[in-house]
Amino acid sequence: MKPFVSQISFALALTLAACGEFPSEGPALSEVQTIHSNANTAGFILIDMSAKVADHLKNIQPANMDDKFGKGRPFTSSHIGIGDVVRIQIWEADPGGLFSSAGSVNRGSIPDSRVDSSGRISVPFAGTVRAAGRTSRQLALLIEKKLSEKTVDPQVHVSIVKNISNTVSITGGVQQPGIVPLTNNGLDLLQIIASVGGSKFPSYESRISLTRSGKIGTAYLSHIINSPHDNIYLRPGDKINIEKVPQSFSAFGAVAQKGKINFGSAKLSVLEAIGKVAGLKDQQADPRGVFLLRFENARTAYSLANMPNNDQRKTVPVIYRINLKDPNQYFFAQAIQLHDKDIVYVANAPSVELDKFMNLVGKGLGIGLKSSALTTP
């Protein structure tokens, strides 16, 4: 009997040696905790979910337009700028004046004038005058003054027929991309998007990029619709682009559906994300080991973990552990919103590792029995 037992032990040892360790898609709950304490080369922070942590996370929002540029005020300037085209009409009291014409003896119009790179236009009998930086009324009064020495009681009206300097451009996935002049009442992001026919994509997949003075801010259209302070006012020269960029998260471990998953909506909670991947695998998942991985502000992360902050990094990798064996944490998981590119990982239950071990033992026994059958007379 002893040779037979020895053969079984030897076969099992060969099996375990060949495997090295049990196959697994990721770390178990205990391994995450051990790595955090002893082999944390990434410098991640492990935070157990609690009411305090959930309360913070449910209120936090990704950086958006207001953070980048401020809400601002409506653009109300009516000043003429370089590149603008102005129309000038002149009335005179003398029917035989400088600008009289057949059928309109006391009124004259000159060809529309574009403000040159020096900010000036040329007006017959008035010479070259500076238009840039003046309102239409201020420019009209200046021309009247220059003409008063050459004609009788001139009256001048100036209008801007093509506004180039006070415009913004909008490109990408909109119905009518182009250049849009700012009105004296001002335009905000939603108004200008509406003025060009709206986005071609669902609001939760329409990512808006705004470039202003070399700075770039981004936000999803769905967020701007629901966040008035991020619906900022535009300034001349702003450049807006809209592109289709679905928000997504990655799911790994003991879940029914793995890989990159699109939100498919403006917001998605952690609990909804778990439902979106068809939930935890009943015979495999450890409900105590549901993890949310993302980068967070270092000061906030260390505060939530009740740890001293001696870290020089502005952002740090954080792993939030959610224990779904605790009914309270279902409410936490429902309140916390996922961010774009978050990772959801569910660890295997310890019993799964035991099952793998028993399968290996079974293979070892099978090898031992075959070996015994070959050697026993």
Q: What is the pLDDT of residue 24?
A: 57
pLDDT of residue 373: 46
Contacts of 123 (CB under 8 A, 6+ apart): 88, 110, 113, 129, 143, 146
Cβ neighbours of 79 (radius 10 Å): 17
Length of the chain as a residue count:
377
Determine the residue type at 192: I
pLDDT score recorded for residue 94 = 64
Which homologous superfamily is 29-61+247-354 in? Answer: Outer membrane lipoprotein wza domain like (3.10.560.10)
Domain ranges within the chain, ordered by starting residue:
29-61+247-354, 65-75+184-244, 85-162
Classify domain 85-162 by CATH number. Answer: 3.30.1950.10
Q: Which two tokens stand for residue 175?
A: 């119905």
CB-neighbour burial class of residue 72 (10 A; exposed 0-12, middle 13-18, buried 19+): middle
Q: Specify the pLDDT at position 25.
A: 62
Angstrom distances, CA of residue 9 to CA of 13, 14, 357, 359, 373: 6, 9, 14, 15, 15
Q: Convert the pLDDT of each residue in 254-295 to its tens digit.
A: 999 999 999 999 999 999 999 999 888 878 889 999 999 999
pLDDT digits (tens, 9 = 90+) for 12-30: 344 444 444 545 567 777 7
CA angle at residue 135 from 121 to 115, to 5 degrees? Answer: 25
pLDDT of residue 100: 57
pLDDT of residue 14: 42
Give the per-residue pLDDT at 250. Answer: 95
> Do the domains 29-61+247-354 and 85-162 sit in the same CATH topology, yes or no?
no
**Mean pLDDT, each 10-residue run in order, the chain (377 residues):** 44 43 65 76 90 89 85 83 90 66 55 92 91 92 89 87 87 94 85 95 96 94 93 94 96 92 94 93 88 92 90 92 95 94 90 49 47 46
Radius of gyration of the chain (CA): 36
Please report the pLDDT score of residue 277 as a whole number.
93
Tokens (6 digits) for 76: 């109300």
The reported pLDDT for the residue numbered 58 is 87
